[in-house]
Each structure stands twice: as structure tokens, then as C-alpha cells.
Amino acid sequence: MTMKCSFCTLPEIKNRTVAKNDLAFAFLTYIPIVPGHVLISPARCVAKFGDLSDEEVAAFFELRAKLEKALIKTFSAEGFNYAWNEGKAGGQSVSHFHLHMIPRKEGDKGIYKYEPREFLYRSESSESRPVTPEEELLDVAKLIREAAE
């Protein structure tokens, strides 16, 4: 038996939808960090950002821009956190691609100071990890550039 996507099937998701266009929709998460924490998803059920068509990407980011204005107006947002996870190893728990959009203002709840290295390495502080030598960074940069050609 295959599991159906909760984003595509749960009536609660449709009821919590706050904005949509032909190719994307946004809805309130049931475990918000702060009020206004929304998830933006493509209308088509795909697992990864790279699976989206150019038209879907444009519609997705048009909806993000529309929501930015709405969340600033509604919650006096002074900034935003954005996050998405891809693949099991990347922490993705729902296989329908989605972007967390979290309106932030001084003094609100949740992680206020977001330091990606502290979040992603959890058990290691960024201070305990050694700085990578510049020569090694240049070697890695060269490998990535060559693979991207």
C-alpha cells in the first residue's frame, strides 16, 4: 500500500491555504514557530526543487513575494527565515517539496539567532571545527566548477 501525500489529500491543508496561483499554493503549518509560519508548495506533487519546471519555479517565487508583503502587513515582520529540506538525509519528512517561510521580528519566539553551522552540525559547535585551509577550498571549488560545466 502506498502512502498518499498529506499535502495533496488532507482537507485541513486546503482549509489552511492562505494564497495560491495556478502552479503553487501556501498554507499554515500545524506546528508554527511563530504565527504566520507558512509552507509554500508547488501544486504538482514533486519531491525536489530541481523537479520543478521553469514555470513552476516562477509561480512559486511569485507567491513567495506576494506572501512577503502580506506577512509584513499582518504580523509586522521585520525579516524572514526560509528553509527547505531535500531527501531523507537532508531531513525531508514529506515528499512534496515545500519552503518554510517564517516571518520574524525582534523578540519573537523560536530560534532568533540562526547560525546555519550550529543548526546543521548540532553536535559540533562551529568553534570546534577547524578552519579548512584555503588550498583545500580552492581544490573543492575547482572540482565543483568542472562538474558544473
Distance CA 110, CA 114 (A): 10
96 classed as catalytic: no
Catalytic residue among 37, 96, 98, 100: 98
- The set of residues, in sequence order, having a beta carbon less than 8 Å from that of 99 and lying 6+ positions away, is 39, 40, 41, 60, 64, 82, 83, 84
- Return the closest-CA partner of residue 43 out of 93, 100, 87, 97: 97
Task: Report, as residue numbers or ranges, the catalytic residues.
Answer: 98
